[in-house]
Amino acid sequence: MGASSSKAADGQSSAHVWKPSVFPQWPKQVVAQGCTDLAYACSSGPVGVSQDVVERLQGNSESDVSRAQTLELAVHARVAEELKKLEKNESAALKAAYEKATAAADDEKNGQQDDGKNRHTVSKEVEALRTRLDKRKQLRVLPDSVERARTGVLECLRDNDRRPLNCWREVENFREEVRRLEKEWVDRVTR
């Protein structure tokens, strides 16, 4: 695509140049002034603008600040509208969840009446199981070395409540005592 192929030779007219006779609906004055390009206005004289347009431009008292305020108000209104929409959706979802939970509770109540169990009897059973489990937790007393390491960790953490990483030595001592205790237990069980 060289420059020579896009321009007509001297004095020769090209087939792709617009000729005013192609558009007879154009006013004769525009054609007579030599305006042959659709993209540009005729440059031989001043551009005419109607008085309405001039008055509208001069009468427009809107400044950049007022345009920004108007835009900000529109954004706030849109955000408020979206928030109301989200709130409506959330309240609908909450209402549906509440109805579902109520229906499940009603079903549970109906089912409990059939089984003869209710919340109080189940709570009593759970409490009884907890007390039995608490009795089983401590089958034997921990050795003094493990208990000393444990209290060392607790005291260090109380003293360094803002800096628990300063208690790494005590924690390592406790871990070592627990490892030793576990190893003794494994050795006793596997014999």
- Please check whether residue 61 is in contact with residue 69, taking contact to mean a CB–CB distance below 8 angstroms: no
- Report the pLDDT value the prediction gives residue 33, as an integer from 0 to 100: 53
CA 97 to centroid of chain Cα atoms: 23
- Report the pLDDT value the prediction gives residue 116, as an integer from 0 to 100: 61
- Report the pLDDT value the prediction gives residue 58, as an integer from 0 to 100: 73
DSSP notation for 101-158 = HHHHHHHHHHHHHHHT--HHHHHHHHHHHHHHHHHHH-SSPPPHHHHHHHHHHHHHHH
pLDDT along the chain (191 residues), means of 10: 52 54 52 52 64 77 78 89 91 88 76 64 87 72 88 93 90 95 88 81
The domain locations on the chain are 17-48, 62-113, 141-191
- Report the pLDDT value the prediction gives residue 5, as an integer from 0 to 100: 52
- What is this structure's pTM? 0.30
Q: Residue 52 in 3-state DSSP? A: helix
